[in-house]
Structure 1
Amino acid sequence: MKNETDFELTDDILNPEGLSINKNNIIIFHTHTCESYTQSENYSFEQTGSYRTTDLNYSVARVGDELENYLKGFGFNVNHNKTYHDYPAYTGSYSRSLSTVKGVLNDFNSDIIIDLHRDAIGSKETYAPLVKIGDDYCAQLMFVMGTNGGGLTHPNWDSNLKFAVKIQQEANEKYPGLFKPMILRNSRYNQNLGKAACIIEVGATGNTLDQALNSMKYLAEIFNEVRGEM
């Protein structure tokens, strides 16, 4: 784990045992809905910015569709919201997605809230974190977890972290390399809205949509495995 906060990560904070959440309902949304990937033979599309598109069939929202379908196949109840939060304006995306998720929660009770992103590595546009699982080339995943270190109220950050640790532990055992080390930051990232809320970065700009989609069946499988252990 890359700890960018001043918090000391004790065994108690990192121990996911005893975590009590609604484990059957999942919200998926996208603060940066227009994030997209390197184009490929299978997925060619019109960009509306650098590695960005408003076409939901080719953005990170399409990756969310894939995750939703696999999760539903395991019997999860999934609410996938594909509202644009970063278009036409990028600034204020997190404020807008906060409002969206609050609205979703009015009608759909869920502790597991996934903000699904595509990572951006500064100027390294060709960076493509990959892992091969069986015959599948999969974009690597990464948790970005928030805290109250920035001064905003966030009573759930330790619960969120326990959940992410549980998911990553399971993934590391079953599919080593699927996840990169998670990052813990001072920002809240709207993760105060759930007891198992997280950002999951799916690949980076150098990955193709094919690779991002491949990862989702393994991620859904891990979620199902963890549900059975809770």
Structure 2
Amino acid sequence: MRSKIFIFTLGIGMMMMGLGVINYLTAGSAVAPAWNEAAVVSQEDVDHVVGTAVKIADEKGNVISQVCRGVVAGDEIINSEGNHYRITRVDKDKAFAKSLGVDKDFLAWNDFLTDDRLAMAAATRKQGTVGVYHTHTDEAYVPTDGTESVPFKGGIYDVGKTLVQRLREKNGTEVAYDKTPHDPHDNAAYQRSRRTAMNLLKQNPMALIDVHRDGIPDPDYYRANVSNEDVSKLRIVVGRQNPNMQANLDFARKMMAYANKVHPKIVKEIFMAKGNYNQDLMPTAILIEAGTHTNTKEEAERGVALFADAVPAVLGIQGGPTAPTGQGPTVTPGGGATGSGAWKAVGWIVGLSLLLGGGFMLMSSGSLKGLREGLAGFGKEFTNYLGPIKKRLVRKPLPGKGRAGKKSTEEANQAAIDHRNDVTED
């Protein structure tokens, strides 16, 4: 009876696991977050805690960057001059970076985007859509909003609205702007915003832009006068833990190069951080930080407006420059991560195997005798299948040897033992 209950329970468990796998593949995979071991290890260390700052210094002790996020060894920075750094050590609120020299790919784009080619940017127009959304929808600007966080309706929405209006009105770009809130401001926010990003992908955008603001206390780190406007500069963030990382980085390089040609140094740097940020969804997905919470919202709005002037040209929507063959890195808008099809097929096989196996166990649990007979029959068939192989593996006895041969072998072994004993006694 206990065996019967065990088989029945095992069958139910296998069927539930199989259904779970199949349900994940058919319904949940579209919005499933990419693997992020940091979120599993610690749910307390939120990626972006306002008011905190990690200062990053080079080998000479010069502060090259400040960030309000978890910084780890391996993170990298490319600044507006093209200098490339890799963080080697982090000590609480200080990080130390090693110079990797100049980033050749960024300089290639910077050299390629000459004044002549910029003048050709409006020569032709192409149809294309840009997707815009916010993962941290509570982010706000203290001097303007009175606080750094307004749940579900932070000032970051106004910054996003300005970016969208500039793209639409001045540059004639189609924009899909999703205002879905994703509060609270925790590590799971990117899992919630992934569904929003997936909905935007249904409109086949040429790029996805997740609009944020930084949280370092120093407003002067971003504050500047660019193109005769008082603005807060921007940072582009690229997640290192996704299969599109290199494509996302190439897109970010081109964006910074072009934006800084049109509006000098409007983009401070590209920060390659540990994380995914849903950028595995397409190779032209980026995260931008428009100033920090101690900047005014108006400064941030003017900053993203200038940044918007570069977006359509880089994507080719407004006839932006395209590198001739052999010149500059290439970025292909659209598409997603590759290689997922094979894993999905494996998932289907596992799910169906568990489902069918569980069903078999359930049916068999009604008759233990039938289960035993079925397993015995399967074992017999399996043994018959292996029979030819076993025959080839079993060593055939030498001619003339059977039981007599076995007896002779035993006698020889006994003689060897007697000889060993004699030698030992001597």
Pairing of 1:138-153 with structure 2 (within 5 A): 138-148=231-241
Decide which of 154, 176, 197 is 1:101's aligned counterpart: 197
Quick one: which of 180, 196, 200 aligns to 1:83? 180
SS in 1 for 2:143: coil
Q: For each residue in 1:163-215, what CA deviation from the matched residue of structure 2 results, as whole angstroms up to 9, or x when unmatched?
A: 11001011222322211121112311110111200110000011000101111
Q: Which structure carries more relative contact order (alpha carbon 8 Å, separation 6+)?
A: 1
Q: 1:10 to 1:176 in 2, by over 3 A?
A: closer
Please state how far the C-alpha of 1:38 moved relative to its aligned partner: 2.2
Pair member with larger Rg: 2
Q: Please state if 1:137 is matched with 2:234.
A: no
In structure 1, the residue corresponding to 2:139 is in which secondary structure?
Answer: coil
**Superposition TM-score, scaled by structure 2 size:** 0.45
Seen in structure 2, the aligned counterparts of structure 1 residues 140 and 126 have a Cα distance that, compared at 3 Å, is closer
For the structure 1 residues 205 and 125, does the alpha-carbon distance in structure 2 shift closer, same or farther, using more than 3 Å as the test?
farther
| Contact 1:5-1:186 within 8 A present in 2 as well | no
Letter in 2 for 1:157: M
Provide the C-alpha distance between the structure 1 equivalents of 2:186 and 2:160, rounded to a whole number of angstroms. Answer: 20
Other-structure match for 1:28: 132
Structure with a larger share of its residues in helix = 2
2:301 is equivalent to residue 205 of structure 1:
no
Counterpart CA distance in 2 for 1:144 and 1:23 is: 26
Amino acid at match of 2:209: I
* SS state at 1:177 partner: coil
Shift, 1:10, TM fit: 7.2
CA RMSD of aligned residues (A): 2.7
In the alignment, the residues of structure 2 paired with residue 181 and residue 13 of structure 1 have an alpha-carbon distance, to the nearest angstrom, of 11
Tell me how many residue pairs correspond in the alignment: 208
Task: Return closer, same or farther for 1:85/1:5 CA change in 2, 3 Å cut-off.
Answer: farther
Q: Deviations over 1:107-163 (max 9, x none)?
A: x11241111000012xx2655511212442111100010123xxxxx3322111111
Counterpart in the other structure of 1:156: 244
Q: What pairs with 1:11-22 in structure 2 (closer than 5 Å)?
A: 11=104
- Identical counterparts, % of pairs: 28
How far has the Cα of 1:3 moved from its partner? Answer: 5.0
Q: Distance in 2 between matches of 1:146 and 1:179?
A: 17
Is residue 229 of structure 1 aligned with residue 333 of structure 2? no
Q: TM-score, normalised by structure 1?
A: 0.79
Structure 2: stretches of 5+ with no match in the other structure: 1-77, 79-83, 89-99, 113-125, 323-426
Contact 1:131 1:139 in 2 (8 A): yes
Code of the aligned partner of 1:224: P
The alignment partner of 2:240 has SS state of coil
